[in-house]
Chains A and B, each alone.
Chain A
Amino acid sequence: MFRPAILPAAVPILALTIAVPFVNRLAPSIFGLPFVLFWIVMWVLLTPASLWLVGRLEHRW
């Protein structure tokens, strides 16, 4: 299960966990969202891209 190709998948997990204390701010607010909430939403939306990249790296498609 451990292969270098899975590294892109680690990015959203890190961004949604240990990175959050460092972006735990109100400003700058984007689309009205507090920055920390915007950060989380952004990474939720980027997760499909990272998993797609894993698939590409493993030549599944």
Chain B
Amino acid sequence: MSAPLVALGIVAVIVLGTMLFALASAGRIATDPQQYIVGGRSFGTLFLWLLLAGEVYTSFTFLGAAGWAYGRGAPAYYILAYGTCGYVIGYFLLPAIWRVAEERGLLTAPDFFVDRYGSRALGVGVALTQFVMIVPYVTLQLTGLQILLTMAGYGTFDATAAVGVAFLLMALFVFTAGLRGTAWASVVKDALVLAAVTFAGIAIPMRFFSSVPAMLEHLRAAHPAMLTLAPGAAPSGTFWYVSTVLLTGIGFYMGPQSFAAVYSARSAEALRRNAIFLPLYQIVLLLVFFAGFSALLIVPGLKGAAADQSFLLVVQRFYPPWVMGLIAAAGALAALVPASALLLGAASVIAKNVLGDGLNLVRTDRARLIATRAFVLVIAVLALVFWLVEKQTLVGLLLIVYSGITQFAPGVVCAFLWRRATAWGVGAGLVAGLAAAVWLSVSAIPIAGLNAGFVALMLNVVVLVAVSLATPQREPVALRSGT
């Protein structure tokens, strides 16, 4: 058999096998929105780990982080730091959000805003914004999938159609299985990704340089300037690093798919335990850096978006096709499984908060379940079309989306810390922050090297405070246990 056939065959078998395994394990098909969208709020520590870690380690982890290490060097370190900051913030924030959700029966991320600020309009605004931001995030996964399938095909075929088929299959999968299916698919995905990354980050440097420290020694000799950050306000310098880690760390859990994972927890304690242990999982990223660094020494010269191929090119050139197949399969699941959670998050938000609360079209649980399922497919097709028309490098897009997603954070945090915050204040801050994030990213005005989204976040907070103080306070619904 030819190399592309072996490698692509392995990818196809593993991806299909994972979906079937997850469908079988998820058991009964969900018949109410609580089961379908937040897994009946029944996930214990371990299952929650799969979901929380599973949503975070995407094809970006796999390709983008290695590509950054390969193409940029030290700026990639931010990826290791921001998730850790996100977990620390999550340790305090997630149990608090969970308590509100559990007591008030919240189903989606915008529900949180509706409940705390007593405004359905705010919920509709949050829902639409989250929907708009999810689509590029999904397309990011599709670009990752295309790179992987093209590499696994040894460049012999155009992967566009295969990406479309794989993605629509995944959409049908989540249409059927809901959040529980995603969590079960994460079991296979995490195990494979862990194996692939350990291979790429340890076995590759050992084969070519005899050990990881020896590889790093070569790297220091060849590219010393790449391994530390540029000073101060320089592009991707230390100012950029600090502001980006803060921005993306704060935005870490602000996506609708993260709220769904939080709501799915059985207890606040399960969330707290996860926050404690998840930082250890970040070490996976260090191995990805090693893979990217090794690739820079073994196959130098990849420019721009091609840097995302980094260690895959090493595998393709120097290892047998079955290794290529296994690595590509791990990467494909790392694109598809998080994409399924994103689809579900976006669909539930549109069905519940826009069609239901906003337009009053979807009223019963049954209608809500049908609408969510329908929108899983609609959003999948939308994302696919968007992807066919508009493609960008992996991380450039992610940073724009993160600048946007983080703008929800002030409203979430103020719900607990600042009673005076009003729906008008949160809404105005959100609009100001989003507008500033997009404008600063598009116009590329230098702001002392700071991340544009971070500056937008500051503006968001200022507007939130000013408008809240200028509008009458509305007593938010208190909880039994207090916050």
Chain B, Cβ-Cβ closest to A3: B92
A16-B85, A47-B87 known; A1 vs B242 contact (CB < 8 Å)? no
Task: Determine chain A's interface SS by DSSP, over half rule.
Answer: helix
Residue of A with least CB distance to B74: A36
Flag whether B279 is at the interface (Cβ < 8 A).
yes
Least CB distance, B247 to chain A, in whole angstroms: 10
Contact of A9 among B91, B213, B417 (CB under 8 A): B91
A22-61 with Cβ < 8 A to chain B: 24-26, 29, 31-34, 36-37, 40-41, 43-45, 47-48, 50-52, 54-55, 60
When each residue 8-29 of chain A gets 1 if its CB lies under 8 Å from chain B and 0 otherwise, what string results?
0100110011101100111001
Taking CB atoms, residues of chain B closer than 8 Å to A13 are 85, 88-89, 249
Report whether B91 and A32 are in contact in the complex, using a CB–CB cutoff of 8 Å: no
Contacts of A34 in B (CB 8 A): 74, 216, 220, 227-228
B220 & A18 in contact (Cβ 8 Å cutoff): no
* A-binding segment of B34-42, B119-127, B280-288, B319-327: B280-288
Interface status of B277 (Cβ within 8 A of chain A): yes
Is the CB–CB distance between A20 and B84 below 8 Å?
A: no
DSSP majority for the B interface? Answer: helix
Residue B84 contacts which of A18, A32, A43, A60 (CB distance < 8 angstroms)? Answer: A43
Considering the complex, which residues of chain B in the window 272-308 have a beta carbon less than 8 Å from any beta carbon of chain A?
Answer: 272, 275-277, 279-280, 282-283, 286, 289
Task: Give a binary string over B64-93; 1 marks a CB under 8 Å from any A CB, 0 the rest.
Answer: 000000000010010011001101110110
Q: Report the minimum CB–CB distance from A26 to chain B (whole Å).
A: 6
Q: Considering only CB atoms, which chain A residue lies closest to B212 in the complex? A: A32
Give Cα distance in the complex from A20 to B228, angstroms.
10
A48 touches B286 (CB 8 A): no
Given the known A-B contacts A1-B92, A17-B246, A21-B242, are A36 and B229 also in contact in the complex, defined by CB atoms under 8 Å?
A: yes
B355 contacts the other chain (CB 8 A): no
Contact of B80 among A32, A44, A51 (CB under 8 A): A44
Which residues 221-273 of B sit at the A interface, judged by CB distance below 8 A?
A: 224, 227-229, 231-232, 238, 241-242, 245-246, 249, 272
New contact pairs (14) apart from A20-B229, A20-B242, A52-B276, CB-CB < 8 Å: A1-B483, A6-B92, A12-B84, A13-B88, A17-B242, A20-B77, A20-B241, A29-B220, A34-B228, A44-B84, A48-B276, A48-B277, A48-B279, A51-B88
Q: Ordered nearest first, which 6 A-B pairs have the shortest CB separation?
A: A32-B213, A32-B216, A21-B238, A47-B279, A34-B227, A16-B81
